[in-house]
Amino acid sequence: MAVQTYVQTVARTLAEEMRRDERVIVLGQDVGVRGGVFLATERLYDAFGPDRVIDTPLSEAAIIGAAVGMAVHGLRPVAEIQFADYVFPGFDQLVSQAAKLRYRSGGAFTAPLVVRMPAGGGVKGGHHHSQNPEAHFVHTPGLQVVYPSTPSDARGCLKTSVRGDDPVVFLEPKRLYRAVKEEVPADVDYLLPVGHGVRRREGDDVVLISYGASMRETLQAADVLAEQGIAADAIDLRWLMPWDETLVLERVAEVGRVVLVSEAPHSGNVLSEVAATIAEEVLDMLEAPPARAFGFDTPYPYAQDRVYLPGPNRILHAVQQVLDY
């Protein structure tokens, strides 16, 4: 094992997969000589050259469109969108073409591509560099969506995504790129199964569910609760489509109280679907209605961006609601 940051893990995992399989191609704006704006493709250009690490024009439509064409013709492209906020010019290529290809061709063709994009706020980036667009993609049949919160999970989920046969939207919490370090498994075949979440903490008083960067604040809230004698179970979904219904429903049914945490806007939030499924499947086991600590239905602000995020205090308030119900 090696101690790595999140962004180091992404770069080193990509390098491993490129060495393992010559069909893996990296493309995107500034991914080559510069190594990406966040250095998530650092040194790949030197190791694999311009034919496999392709600096593209500033055109998300071209980046994703080219990746779809590569995938159809047998390559395994990993496209980088410099910020998740910029993906929308390439939205049609991803949701109307890549996502539909297997269905449209009756299984004759697949689109084994990964679209990586740094997402989320907390970096003073304002409304064009802080958004969480995951709900758009979760709503699109044919796409897998993953949003890992730790370096180890980024490694395992990225390897699984690169080796899979379906298009994957791979969101990376950029405010955690260099904020966390941990020992990362060295196994070149360290794969995390599609659709599997993980319990970060165990407890029987309340279940906290989150993913991506918000997992950090969720665990901070769990630490505060522990000091108060309240044992929180913390579930990191990791995969948003498909998501781990079995893990969530089993734990919520056993505990009876749940708080869902996401920094994406409140309306149409991915975790609202999780809350609805909980209500449909285990309503009789609940001691209180599910509570939500989400972002607000506003453009992401330039000033006070941390106020927009559901920090530990807002999570604790939601926990108190379900405990007092």
Task: Indicate which residues carry an active-site annotation.
Answer: 129
Q: Name the DSSP letter for residue 119.
A: E
Token digits of residue 74: 């047998």
Helices first, then strands: H and E counts in the chain: 12, 14
- How is 223-236 classified by DSSP, letter by letter? HHHHHTT--EEEEE
Please enumerate in sequence order all residues whose Cβ is within 8 A of that of 165, keeping only pairs 6 or more positions apart, or say none: 110, 112
Q: Are 160 and 193 in contact (CB under 8 A)?
A: yes
How far from the centroid of its chain's Cα atoms is residue 294's Cα?
16
Residue for token pair 């049609």: 92
Q: Are 315 and 293 in contact (CB under 8 A)?
A: yes
Beta partners for 114? 78, 168
Diameter over CA atoms, the chain: 60
Residue for token pair 């599997």: 196
Residue for token pair 């979440």: 197
Q: Name the DSSP letter for residue 257.
A: -
Q: Are 248 and 233 in contact (CB under 8 A)?
A: no
